Chains A and B, each alone.
Chain A
Amino acid sequence: MRVYILKRLLQIIPTILGITFVVFVMMRSIPGDPVVSLLGDAYTEENAIKARQDYGLDKPVLLQYVIWLGKLVQGDWGTSILSGRPVLKDVLVRLPVTLELVVLSMAVALAIAIPAAIIGALRQNTWADYTATSVAMVGVSVPEFFLGVLLLLLFSIGMGGFLPSSGWVYLPGTCQTVVCAASLWGNTQHVLMPALALGVGRAALLTRLLRASMLEVIRTEYVTTARAKGLSERPVVLKHALKNALIPTVTVMGLQVGFLIGGAIVVETLFAMPGLGTFGIDAIIARDYQQVQGFALVTALTFVFINLIVDLTYTFLDPRIRYS
């Protein structure tokens, strides 16, 4: 197991190099120049040339990448061209927000998907199954931003501010700023709508996947054996069938993290949350190369680590799986 984890951790290096290099080259290939955003009305050719020199943007792209990488190895993620703020510091302020959103969205997805899939599988081709399948179809079809707006209209505007429409209250202990609101209840209120908006689409997908998987498992011999031994339906379903049916679902869950981070860009913008999603999109719009690199790096790292955790959970779900 230890060797396996080490191998996986080593695999992160080429993955990160590949991702950051592609992002680096892509950002410099698209039209736009961060110096224009930086100088604004003070833009003159003379000022622009000086600013490009100051930020090393006049050097060849490959050399710029090597310089960035060299600094990264020393723990320097660079500084934002536009705000002059250290990228790592801003990433660390924003990471807890997005991580919480992603984790809770997945929790929302599972909370909907597991019961819906079990009902759908156990009562196949009944109205309950059709309902679960139809709702799943609708869920997959509704984009996050649309569902988010609906939630805003319902819970924030319609119900007179029952849930806050925007902003963020940190979980106690996660806030890294001087002025900061932190409370469990406030955090719950703020994260509920974004997590729903982001989680429902994933729930729909997982429901369909888990239902199909459950249908397969409940027809296997060991489930029949469990029933023949006189076990009640609950342990048969939850302990024997669901646990095994979860393996492909867990794999997809890991891959869905990428979609969740992508979806977080939309949801965080809509709910004006100070997370990584808004950080990334602002950086891309402003062509703030250093911030975009930071965003790509932290996104890739999160994705890789979550998938590593997912792989390790296989051993819990199926003890026969061994990593060597």
Chain B
Amino acid sequence: MRTRRALTGLWFAVACVAGLPLLTHAQEPKRGGTLRVAYGNEIANLDFYTAPGYELNWVAMNIGCGLLSITPDGKFVPSAAESWQITPDGLLYTFKLRKDVVFHDGTPLDAAAVKFSIDRIMDPATRSSMRTFYESVHSVETLDPQTVQIRLKQPYAFMLHMLAAYRMGFVVLSPTATQKYSQQDRQQGKPEAVVGCGPFRLVEWVKGSHLVMDRFDKYFEPGLPYLSRVTIRVIKDPVTQLAAFKAGEVDFIPDFSPDHLDTLKAQNPRAQIMTGKETTPMVAMMKVTVAKDGKPMSTDRAPHPIFADIRVRKAIGCYGIDRKEIVKIAFKGRATPWLGIIPPGTTDTVDVTHMCPYDPARAKALLAEAGYGPQKPLTFELMTNTEKSVFSVITTVIKEQMARIGVTANIRLTDKVSWMNTATQDGAFDMYVEDLASQLTLDLNGFLSMSTAAWNSARHTDTKVDDYYARYAREMDPGKRKVIAKEFQEFSADKLYWNTISGSPFYSVAQPWMKGYVYNAEIKVLYGRVWLER
């Protein structure tokens, strides 16, 4: 109860902080100025449909524009489409486009451009990371230059969510520029090749140095954007980020390390610290099957020698892990202990954490039942990577918690790429600790946990998981959908193919003079309404 009250308090505080920019927005915005942004990670490349990473998404959603967008409270708002209609059977989406939308190369955004872009994403040759979300799309038809229809094979309840905000959301490309320039030109960030219809146009990207975007004067929203320029630099070291922020060298850090938040607050009492719903899960993933023939990704599977046994999974991942202690030590209490397959801030989330109370005695009993004990002690490898310091802290706490139930967890620390290889390519691991992608909806988590997904790093083969995702995504009645979601999350907590420890908080920090920014976690980082009061 106390936790819930504390959480309510925290959410209220968060809502207040997140709302502050909206209140200040009532002031008369000033035009001009350069917003200096610091990212903690490098942008991989600038081909919007194929490049991985949030950093690229945050650039793409400012250079590009889509059909619609989403507000922090989940409301869909028009963008290049001024309105849309959905047929009662949920199979046909008709979008009416604005007439005044032009790309940065001067060509108009019309129905043909929308069709071109969706067809491109769906083309396997593009190798788009978005393709998986378009599985239910049958075809795209242009009725007239301002009207485009998306026909689905089966109802998809999250079509609008997907178009608005899955990864970068659906970003329309200029067909002229896309056909004229190669994928390599876009990857390299040639400004004439990276052409969108968003509030900013790309001026230059020098990998490892800077990315510069300037105001697009023909942007369709009158008066926007306010800023003349946005420059993005990469500052990887949090101490350097702190120094740069304190010295006023940067105005905004969209993804600030929670470990250094107290220091930043102490040094910059007037800084805007923004956070909100936890939409990213911190997981301790256990491997369930291994390749029978020893070939990674083989469809011929054998049980994992340790965690295929549900009793061991429950002993270790359920009763043996003290989630509250992890949150207290690793997050200084700033996260929510959690068990469900989707984190606390995701749509249709259900708190099933009570299904796994910390109970070392029960964990020991289950291990004994599975044949482990003083005579045959259980030892497993606990893997994590060096991307965030919090991962190492969590693995150390888990190691300690395992020792309490007589289990030895040997920590293996790797770099991010080695971990990614292991996770996605059926590599050898017993358990790993990571925070996975931000989940706007339960549906979005499918690409990480369906039995057929490359990111199904547990390599479970239970098609019941896939059925749940399919039923959930096709159910158009929100009430019935909630029932499926609850049932699915309880099923997942019971099977522990996916083992969440907690939510993973996300913080953005801004200088007091940065105004008009609407916090929406990793989901939307938009500079269109930002202005500088200085």
Interface residues, chain A, CB within 8 Å of chain B? Answer: 31-34, 36-48, 50-51, 79-80, 82-86, 90, 93-94, 149, 152-153, 156-157, 160-161, 164-168, 177-179, 269-272, 274, 278-279, 282, 285-287
A282 touches B203 (CB 8 A): no
Nearest residue (CB) in A for B46 is A83
Q: How far does the alpha carbon of A156 sit from the alpha carbon of B245 in the complex, in Å? A: 10
Judged by a CB distance under 8 angstroms, whether B404 is at the interface is no
Q: How far does the alpha carbon of A50 sit from the alpha carbon of B244 in the complex, in Å? A: 42
Q: How far does the alpha carbon of A1 sit from the alpha carbon of B56 in the complex, in Å? A: 53
Q: Which residue from B187, B237, B425 sits with its C-beta under 8 Å from A84? A: B187
B248 to chain A, nearest CB (A): 6
Residues of A within 8 A of B50 (CB): 39, 42
B181 to chain A, nearest CB (A): 11
Judged by a CB distance under 8 angstroms, whether B410 is at the interface is no
B52 touches A42 (CB 8 A): yes
Q: Which residue from B129, B233, B421, B455 sits with its C-beta under 8 Å from A167? A: B233
* Most chain A CB neighbours (cut-off 10 Å) among B209, B421, B454: B209
Q: Which residue from B186, B210, B421 sits with its C-beta under 8 Å from A179? A: B210
Which of under 10, 10 to 19, 20 to 34, or 35 or more describes the interface residues of B? Answer: 35 or more
B208 touches A31 (CB 8 A): no
Residues of B within 8 A of A285 (CB): 415-417
Instruction: Enumerate B199-228 residues with CB–CB distance to A below 8 Å.
Output: 203-204, 206-210, 212
Q: Which residue from A153, A168, A269 sits with its C-beta under 8 Å from B209? A: A168
Q: Given A83-B188, A179-B204, A282-B208, answer yes or no on A50-B233 (Cβ-Cβ < 8 Å).
A: no
B391 to chain A, nearest CB (A): 15
* Most chain A CB neighbours (cut-off 10 Å) among B187, B208, B267: B208
Interface residues, chain B, CB within 8 Å of chain A? Answer: 42, 44-45, 47, 50-53, 124, 127-129, 131, 167, 183-189, 203-204, 206-210, 212, 231, 233-237, 239-240, 242-244, 246-249, 267, 297, 414-418, 420-422, 424-425, 437, 447, 454-455
Q: Which residue from B189, B236, B418 sits with its C-beta under 8 Å from A269? A: B236
Q: Which residue from B53, B183, B235, B424 sits with its C-beta under 8 Å from A36? A: B424
Residues of B within 8 A of A287 (CB): 417
Q: How far does the alpha carbon of A36 sit from the alpha carbon of B248 in the complex, in Å? A: 37
Residues of A within 8 A of B247 (CB): 156-157, 160-161, 164-165
A41 touches B207 (CB 8 A): no
Q: How far does the alpha carbon of A131 sit from the alpha carbon of B522 in the complex, in Å? A: 53
Q: Given A44-B454, A45-B297, A271-B240, answer yes or no on A177-B246 (Cβ-Cβ < 8 Å).
A: no
The contact sample of 18 A-B pairs, CB cut-off 8 A, is A32-B421, A34-B417, A38-B44, A38-B52, A43-B455, A46-B124, A47-B127, A50-B127, A82-B45, A83-B187, A83-B189, A84-B184, A90-B207, A156-B247, A157-B246, A166-B249, A272-B235, A272-B244
A31 touches B184 (CB 8 A): no
A36 touches B421 (CB 8 A): yes
Residues of B within 8 A of A156 (CB): 243-244, 246-247
B437 touches A152 (CB 8 A): no
Residues of A within 8 A of B53 (CB): 40
A274 touches B209 (CB 8 A): yes
Q: Which residue from B124, B183, B243, B447 sits with its C-beta under 8 Å from A157? A: B243
- Which 7 A-B residue pairings sit nearest by Cβ, starting from the closest? A40-B52, A161-B247, A84-B187, A165-B243, A42-B129, A274-B209, A272-B235
Residues of B within 8 A of A40 (CB): 44, 51-53, 129
A197 to chain B, nearest CB (A): 12
Residues of B within 8 A of A178 (CB): 203-204, 212
B45 touches A83 (CB 8 A): yes
A284 to chain B, nearest CB (A): 9
A177 touches B209 (CB 8 A): yes
Q: Which residue from B45, B124, B417, B437 sits with its C-beta under 8 Å from A41? A: B437
A291 to chain B, nearest CB (A): 9
Q: How far does the alpha carbon of A88 sit from the alpha carbon of B69 in the complex, in Å? A: 40
Q: Which residue from A42, A82, A93 sits with its C-beta under 8 Å from B127? A: A42
Residues of A within 8 A of B188 (CB): 83-86
Nearest residue (CB) in A for B211 is A179
A105 to chain B, nearest CB (A): 18
A165 touches B417 (CB 8 A): no
Q: How far does the alpha carbon of A37 sit from the alpha carbon of B422 in the complex, in Å? A: 12
Residues of A within 8 A of B167 (CB): 41
B234 touches A272 (CB 8 A): yes
Q: How far does the alpha carbon of A10 sit from the alpha carbon of B44 in the complex, in Å? A: 38
A84 touches B45 (CB 8 A): yes
Residues of A within 8 A of B421 (CB): 31-33, 36
B127 touches A84 (CB 8 A): no
Q: How far does the alpha carbon of A166 sit from the alpha carbon of B212 in the complex, in Å? A: 17
